[in-house]
Each structure stands twice: as C-alpha cells, then as structure tokens.
Amino acid sequence: MQHFAARVPASCANLGPGFDAFAVAVDLSLEAWTTEPTEQRVTTEGEGSDDVPTDEDNLVWRALTAYCAWAGISPPAVSLRVRSDIPQERGLGSSAAAAVAGVVLGRAVTGAGGRDTDLAALAADLEGHADNAAAALLGGLCVVVDGRSHRFEPTRALRPVVCVPPTRSSTAEARSRLPSQVPLAQATANAGRAALVLAGLSGAGAWDPAVMRDWLVEPARLAGLPASGALVERLRSSGVGACLSGAGPSVLAVVDAADAQALERILAVTPADWRVLALGWNGAGARVRLLGDQLGE
C-alpha cells in the first residue's frame, strides 16, 4: 500500500463580526502520516500529544473512517502518526485541522474520490465548525454561507499576530455563554462591519482596525475570559485590529506588514506568560504528498 502525508493549517475564526461564517488559515500546522498497521492505531507528537486519544477515538482516525463510510468502502489497514504545532483548546482550529487531515488522507490512500466541498462537509459534521474546516481545507480567507464555502486571498499588506495564553478554554463552554437573541440594530451593525472586515483583509478596501469588533457574541465570551478581554482592549486602544480567535482564549491581532514596530507594541501589552506568534497567512490549505521509503523524514 502506498502511504501519504497531509499538512493542514491552523485557522482563526469569526474575525470579530463574522460569527460562525468567517475564518482565515494561518501558518501553524498539523501533520499526519499513514504507516503500516501497528498495535497502536495513532502515535502523536507536539502540541496536546499527551491529551489526545491514540486509539480509534482519535479525531484524525475518526475522520478517515468517516470518509470511508461516506465513500462506501472499508477503512484501509493503516496506522497513523500525527504531529501538531497548533495549541489545543485555544481557538486556533486544532480540531478542524485534525478532521481535515483525516478526510484528505482517506481520499488519498483509498483513491475513492470526492470533491473538496464533500470533504469540507464531512470535516464540519465531525468537528462542528464549517468556517474552520473550510479554511483548514482550502487555505486563505473563507466565508461560509448556507453550507457553501467562498475563498478569498488575504492581502499580504497585513499580517496576523496570534497571542496564545497558557490556559485553555472549551469551545462548548464558550458557546454556552452566548445570548439566544440579539437586538436588530446590533445585528445590522455587525453585517456592515463584517463586510468591511472582508474587504480589508482581502485587499478590496482599506483596512480599518476599528471594524474588527463584535457586539453579538464577543461581549459574553470576553466576560468569561477576563485576561483575553483585557488584552483585546489594550490592543484596540493602541490602534491594532484585535479580536478573540474563534471562541478564544487566544487573541488575534492584525497589523500592517510594513510596520516594523508592530510586534514590539503587541509584546509590550501582552502578559509575560503568553506566547506571541508572528505568523503569515496560509494560502495553501490542506496539502497531501505521497511518501517514499523514508516515512515522515
């Protein structure tokens, strides 16, 4: 059997006002390889490797078998190696990356086909976030509307800086804080801000850091994440576009790529025990390659 490796990017969802619709891929990655079958279904390395299942409950394996079920075939006789640089439960799409890795490996190993739209839907069903799944699969800046993914190229005039706290936050817990109803005026204002975020990040319009703000779900989430909320406000007060990355607790800042002092200003207001990662946009999305004899080398 031929073996394959997949590399899948992290993603930052919502981007302020784009709740459950916007996500952008960034240059942190999860890699997964198929190997000859061993007693342990999955071996793990890197971020969260001590916490994720290594049996058939592992999300990469579950995604691979979900693809096979969708294609109407039996799962291949393989095991997996998984290595991740994406911090877990920090709002950076680690679960979406794992789900996308599994479905693209399933397609590659079995040759059973399927469109990217099919794989995005499978990953979203498994993981629950269609916006993160679209960005992880397709790369770039994705907008998901009525189950369809629309991809845009992020402008290279801007760059992402991700501030990652030492503490984790459950997405399910963060979602439980959300209001069941929102005022019409706030929903209308959010629609306008979302359009401007998309225009600015794609380079179709001037970037206005002030529009990267949400009044529908972010206040409730920031109230439950006081350290993240304080950092967001400090960054905004200094003129930086900032928001929670997904459900948090990580904070996404968007800065002018030509501003040599931007990273220093962010470091100056970020707690000392947080990691500050100056990243790039990931335009490639999920990539799969055929492995030779030197597996994973």
Whether 162 and 145 map to the same domain: the answer is no
Q: What is the domain extent for residue 233?
A: 158-278
> How far is C-alpha 186 from the chain's CA centre?
26
Whether 145 and 162 map to the same domain: the answer is no
Q: Could you give the 3-state DSSP secondary structure of residue 80? A: strand
Whether 20 and 47 map to the same domain: the answer is yes
Classify residue 109: in a domain, yes or no: yes
Q: What is the pLDDT of residue 30?
A: 98
Q: What is the pLDDT of residue 174?
A: 64
Whether 49 and 134 map to the same domain: the answer is yes
Rg (alpha carbons) of the chain, rounded to whole number: 19
Whether 35 and 112 map to the same domain: the answer is yes
Q: What is the pLDDT of residue 139?
A: 98
Classify residue 116: in a domain, yes or no: yes
Q: What is the pLDDT of residue 295?
A: 37
Q: Report how far residue 208's alpha carbon sits from residue 197's, in angstroms, rounded to the nearest whole number.
A: 8
Classify residue 139: in a domain, yes or no: yes
Q: What is the domain-level CATH number for residue 266?
A: 3.30.70.890
Classify residue 260: in a domain, yes or no: yes
Whether 37 and 134 map to the same domain: the answer is yes
Query: What sign has the CA pseudo-torsion 5, 59, 148, 71?
Result: positive
Classify residue 224: in a domain, yes or no: yes
Instruction: Show the low-confidence residues of the chain (pLDDT under 50).
Output: 293-297
Q: Report how far residue 167's alpha carbon sits from residue 143's, in angstroms, rounded to the nearest whole number.
A: 29
Q: pLDDT tens for residues 94-146?
A: 999 999 999 999 999 999 999 999 999 999 999 989 999 999 999 999 999 99
DSSP track, 215-236: SSSHHHHHHH-HHHHHHHHHHH
Q: What is the domain-level CATH number for residue 64?
A: 3.30.230.10
Classify residue 296: in a domain, yes or no: no
Q: Max CA-CA distance within the chain?
A: 60
Q: What is the pLDDT of residue 149?
A: 95
Q: Could you give the 3-state DSSP secondary structure of residue 196? A: helix
Whether 20 and 148 map to the same domain: the answer is yes
Residue 2 bridge partners (DSSP) = none
Whether 8 and 140 map to the same domain: the answer is yes
Number of structural domains (the chain) is 2
Whether 97 and 206 map to the same domain: the answer is no
Tokens 């059973």 appear where?
112
Question: Rounded to whole angstroms, what are the CA distances from 66 to 76, 79, 106, 131, 149?
Answer: 12, 15, 9, 19, 21
H/E element holding 121? helix 116-127
Classify residue 295: in a domain, yes or no: no
Query: What sign has the CA pseudo-torsion 64, 68, 70, 71?
Result: positive
Q: What is the pLDDT of residue 91?
A: 96
Whether 241 and 262 map to the same domain: the answer is yes
Whether 37 and 178 map to the same domain: the answer is no
Q: What is the pLDDT of residue 182?
A: 82
Classify residue 44: in a domain, yes or no: yes
